[in-house]
Structure 1
């Protein structure tokens, strides 16, 4: 995924499926200085900072 698409998803009013390492996540916010995204794992509620290129749109 790229930063432009991640931004579109965060601003979207709909629900867009995104996964990290095969697990569904919710995008919280973007750090565009280092291309990372704070995500919340939907199954475990754990928050992670991940590289934006490691996210996959489902």
Structure 2
């Protein structure tokens, strides 16, 4: 996923269909400098993690 789209999704009040390793996730914020995103799986909000934007897929 490109940086601009990830930022749009993170800022939007509308939930986007984004996955990480096949699991639906929520993007909390985007780190432009490192091209990473702070995410968590929708089913497990306590499992926050920092991942590369290249590992995120919009369905």
Alignment TM-score, normalising by the size of structure 1: 0.92
Partner of 2:15: 15
Partner of 2:5: 5
1:13 deviates by 2.3
Aligned residues: 58
- Cα RMSD, aligned residues only: 0.8
Deviates more, 1:6-15 or 1:28-37: 6-15
Partner of 1:26: 26
List per-residue Cα deviations over 1:16-40 (Å, max 9, x = no partner). Answer: 1100000110000111111000001
- Structure 2: gaps spanning 5 or more residues: none
Partner of 1:42: 42
User: Which whole-Å CA distance do the structure 2 matches of 1:12 and 1:51 have between them?
Assistant: 20
Partner of 1:54: 55
